[in-house]
Structure 1
Amino acid sequence: MSTPAGAADPFVEHRGLLFTVAYEMLGSAADAEDVLQESWLRWAAVDRDTVRDERAYLVRVVTRQALNHLRSVSRRREDYVGEWLPEPLLTSPDVADDVELAENVSIAMLTVLETLAPTERAVFVLREVFDMPYDEIADAVEKSPASVRQIAHRARDHVAARRPRVQVARSEHEQVVEQLARAVNTGDLQALMDVLAPDVVSVADGGGRVRGAARRPVIGAEKLAKYLMHGVAKYAGRMTLSPILVNGQPGLRMDVDGEIAGVVTVTVENGKVSRIYSIANPEKLEHVDAVMPLSR
């Protein structure tokens, strides 16, 4: 189907969706942009008169390119120094208002998706996030519809066993994040202990480039509070945490001497922080100054 004269190119029209598909599969905005560039070149070369459903066709192209990319970067991530976390994105309130989308693009969920095999991840994303029919997913991943149904079931069970157990209202999430920021900004140890769950787990990604970023998870409120207070003392008067929307969720931007030094997101259970994700690798902080368009 050729594009009518004067009409927006379908690739441009659906770019937000296509970027979101690639990002959901890769957890990296930089890699997602590479996939879109590769997909655009393929789209530019196709005979549009042979394409019946442009949106489905473009999603299929992007999915296949993302799968190829995901397989090629798997070794790179295995050799990564310390914990690997997804690249955080500054997002608009519209993303946060779409509760299902916000949950699925959250750092917590993307971290869970990292534990899926590439094809399982593609099937889960296309079915659970974008509600694509099984036959379209089958075309995208080059499997039979029956096989895709089995993969989808297996992926759902895998994710359900690892995703945050309790979903909380955005207002409660924001309140807990504000408590955490206030405790750290003021250096109030007791306030920090009050907001952390006893079995809290903190995962940091410094990529081996940030001194002081823990290379292994820090577990337990007392141990984590001491670790955080050490950082507060080290950067006394130079570090601030301020609220931002990260991947559709309330999060925190950490600045040191007025320059961004990290992004923090948390999961909340029973009014307390149960898990902290801290991304400080400078290579992963390039998309926190401008809102990124995520859509479905």
Structure 2
Amino acid sequence: MTADATDPRHETQTAAEAPPRLRDRVVGLARLSPTGAAGLALIVLFALLALFSGVLMPHDPVASYTDRILQPPSAEHWFGTDGNGMDVFSRVIYGARFGFGIAIPAVLLSVVIGVPVGLIAGYRGGYLDEVLMRFFDGLRVFPSIILALAVVAATGQSLFNVILVLGLLDSPVFARVVRAEVLSLRASVFVEGAVAAGNPTWRILFVHILPNAIQGALAQVAVRAAWAVRISATLAFLGVGIQAPTPEWGAMIRQGAEFMVTGQWWVGVFPGTALILMVFGLNLLGDGLQDVMDPRRRAAK
């Protein structure tokens, strides 16, 4: 007799089979790209630190204990205290919020600017393509850190300005990637069919071409997020951008560098390690995304 779909035993059996299927998918992704899985694990760890920092921090990250200045790591202060008597462990955990709080908006802004420009420039071609690409090339001519330093110093040292500058400076990367894909797609049969059917230009670009041209840009998201985290920390280290006592890793490393020569290594080493691990994880994740989205890379490996 065929089992009834409404039979509670059938529902229990189906529910019991669901977790193994999900587990098999996760294992399959890990086998497909071990580097991507390792990077994802690191990023998930930092994401959990950022989300639950209020629970994980043993002390207020900006509270100053004047009687505990530059204390080495101990049971009370796991990563020691800095030159202001602030708990380094709590500040490192809270700093993960600024890592994601800068990387995610900056990359989203780059995508919002770069992808439409790449679509329009690649599809239209001609003078419009030349003007748009030459403007974006101009943004890439100067070293990014020098240009970011100049713009942030001129516009003001705020989180919003840092995100705005990083998003603008990195948008040419996405524009170039999308434009290259559009150039190869605009003569495709499905595009010609969409034009012959009388579709407006915006529909051809965003409905027919974009879904086929976006994979390369998506594969760059994690790598460019790593770039944004690194550049924002560099700006803070150089004294431009987010400033102390805000618990941002670059600013913490800058303060720690002053005490390194006198032996208080913990002030700069722990935020520096967190920065390295987050950038490393994002780069690994970006490499994994490229493996997943590009079969030729998988075949080469």
Question: Which TM-score band applies after superposition, normalised by the shorter structure?
Answer: under 0.3
Q: Which has the higher helix share?
A: 2
The two structures have a TM-score, normalised by structure 2, of 0.27
The two structures have a TM-score, normalised by structure 1, of 0.27
Q: Which protein has the larger Cα radius of gyration, Structure 1 or Structure 2?
A: 2
Q: Which has the higher strand share?
A: 1
